[in-house]
Amino acid sequence: MREKTTRFVLLGALAAAGPLTGFDLRRWVGAELGAFWSESFGQIYPGLRELQAEGLVAAADRGGEGKPYRITPAGRAALLAWLSRSPRPERARSELLAKLHFGRFLGTESVRALLEAARRHASERLESVQAEAEALAQRTTGEERVFAQLTSERLLSVARAELAWAERALRTVEALEAGGPDAALATLA
């Protein structure tokens, strides 16, 4: 059974920037972690309720609008325990690769369109990760900045690898069109 990671990310957000309302939490996660994490209200509100019932967060007594929450000492301990545990290996489905695997059912025109979409997505991703990395460099210092930059570096290197692959793959498909499977395989050697 998968463990609910939402709770820990909410704790982390409150530790970093609390007190925050449910709405603010979603906004914070989007702004700070958006390149590699997302949370929906469907998880946030029930998650906060649960964390509160367990004493890991409490309503903050800050005046103003909304219902802000703060992390408790027990919540900090729970956050640290989670952070110390080895992360699950990443597994994700790739619709692009599934479609490419079945590429033989498509004409090469359609395969080319598929790879062009992949190139576009990779390029957009690279741009947005770069822009975010630059913004982060501006607004963080010290240790926080080290970790922020490490996360950006990983995203950037994956994005670059994916873009480079898309470009090579397009060339392979061109060779397939021009000279058949053997010519295509020759570009992969």
Partner DNA sequence: CACGCATGTATCTAGAAGATACATATCTAA
Partner DNA sequence: TTAGATATGTATCTTCTAGATACATGCGTG
Task: Assess 171 for contact with a copy of itself (CB under 8 A).
Answer: no
The residues that touch DNA, with contacts defined as CB under 7 A, are 1-6, 21-24, 27, 38-43, 45-46, 49, 64-68, 91, 93
Instruction: Report cis status (omega within 30 of 0) of the bond before 19.
Output: yes
**Number of residues that make up the chain:** 189
Pairwise CA distance, residues 48 & 76, whole Å? 15
Task: Assess 160 for contact with a copy of itself (CB under 8 A).
Answer: yes
Task: Assess 138 for contact with a copy of itself (CB under 8 A).
Answer: no
Angstrom distances, CA of residue 97 to CA of 114, 115, 175, 180? 10, 10, 19, 21
Residue number with CB closer to DNA (21 or 172)? 21
Helix H or strand E encompassing 58: strand 57-59
Residue number with CB closer to DNA (101 or 171)? 101
Residue number with CB closer to a copy of itself (66 or 141)? 141
State the nearest-atom distance from the C-beta of 145 to a copy of itself, in Å: 7
